[in-house]
Amino acid sequence: MTQPIRVAVTGAAGQIGYSLLFRLASGETFGNRPVILQLLDLPIPEVQKALQGVAMELQDCGFKTLAGIVTTDDPNVAFDGVSWSLLVGSKPRGPGMARADLIRENGPIFIGQGQALERGASDLRVLVVGNPCNTNCLIAASNCNGVPKERFFAMTRLDENRAIAQLANKAGVTNAEIKHVSVFGNHSESMYPDFENAMIGKKKAASVIKDRKWLRGEFVAAVQNRGKAIIQARGKSSAASAASAAIDHVKDLEAKTARGQWFSAAVWSDGSYGSPLGIYTSLPITSDGKGGYSVVQGLKLSSWAQEKIRLTNEELLSEREVVKDLLK
């Protein structure tokens, strides 16, 4: 029998968890491979009770690929032997809360979780979703001994998916016709979604969408501010789309990327496209299907785009400064 894959999800009783867990368990993400879900949430009775409820619903789906469910409030239990760990749990940004306060509030969570991740399997990969995800990822990776920094990622796939949808909508085509969209930098309002290398069918996106003012203005702003727009419309932050992006991320890293394709993720900076070292910054990558990835090289970017990328990376450097005492 195929060895089950152990997958940890933190914040599993939350709203992203509710959209994510079923798709991890159903066979959609890991094919026929049996999955053991190891679900972590806070040691608060009501939260643990809600987590039990989610576990009951997972059982009730009767997924043939779900080989076990562990619910716990202990990161050491949650991360034991896992090949994937999706770090979703963190405190939401309160009204009037500055980004730096959020960083200081959530950062400590990722020290203990980083240390507990040392218990992961030898093929461990970690995706940080909880915000501010790039900097939380830096904290977790820095506190996790013995696991290479290249096994940690922060999620910018939702931003890429949002950018694809905006371009498709503007050009009047389907999402499937859009490729080579890359998100650079921080998962924040400073991120840069690159349209200069994007393709619509066989043509450059900028030759199909000739409205350069829209591309540089409304398009970039729409992607940067989409999270806020969802909160305004729904009264709650993005959940199903965030879960869907996390599934895309895991699936794309499990598989070998098809020739000529790529996708975005915040990775340990290798200096590509002028990104400073020592941060997790979003870059276009391909997966070798064996646990490794490469940053796509040689994309041409205008000086305008390069300046946008410089600014979003500057923000990551200033976030690193805020948490420098949490890094090892």
| Residues that bind ligand NAX in the complex, under the rule CB under 6 A | 10-11, 13-17, 40-42, 47, 88-92, 109, 129-131, 133, 155, 158, 187, 227, 237-239, 242
Q: Residues 296, 285: contact at Cβ < 8 Å?
A: yes
Least distance from C-beta 96 to ligand NAX, angstroms?
A: 16
- Determine the residue with CB nearest ligand NAX: 14
The catalytically annotated residue of 125, 180, 187, 226 is 187
Q: Is 180 a catalytic residue?
A: no
CB nearer to ligand NAX: pick between 160 and 254? 160
Provide the token pair at 56.
């009951």
CB nearer to ligand NAX: pick between 203 and 234? 234
Provide the token pair at 287.
């997966």
Closest CA to 10 of 23, 20, 25: 20
CB nearer to ligand NAX: pick between 133 and 222? 133
CB nearer to ligand NAX: pick between 15 and 318? 15
Burial of 290 (0-12, 13-18, 19+ CB in 10 A): exposed
Least distance from C-beta 51 to ligand NAX, angstroms?
A: 8
Report CA dihedral (282, 201, 255, 79) to the nearest 10 degrees. Answer: 40
CB nearer to ligand NAX: pick between 208 and 250? 250
Least distance from C-beta 24 to ligand NAX, angstroms?
A: 14
Please give, one letter per residue, the 3-state secondary structure of 152-212.
Answer: EEECCHHHHHHHHHHHHHHHCCCHHHEECCEEEECCCCCCEEECCCCEECCEEHHHHCCCH
Least distance from C-beta 106 to ligand NAX, angstroms?
A: 7
First-residue to last-residue Cα distance in the chain: 41
Closest CA to 9 of 44, 27, 36: 36
Catalytic residue ranges: 187
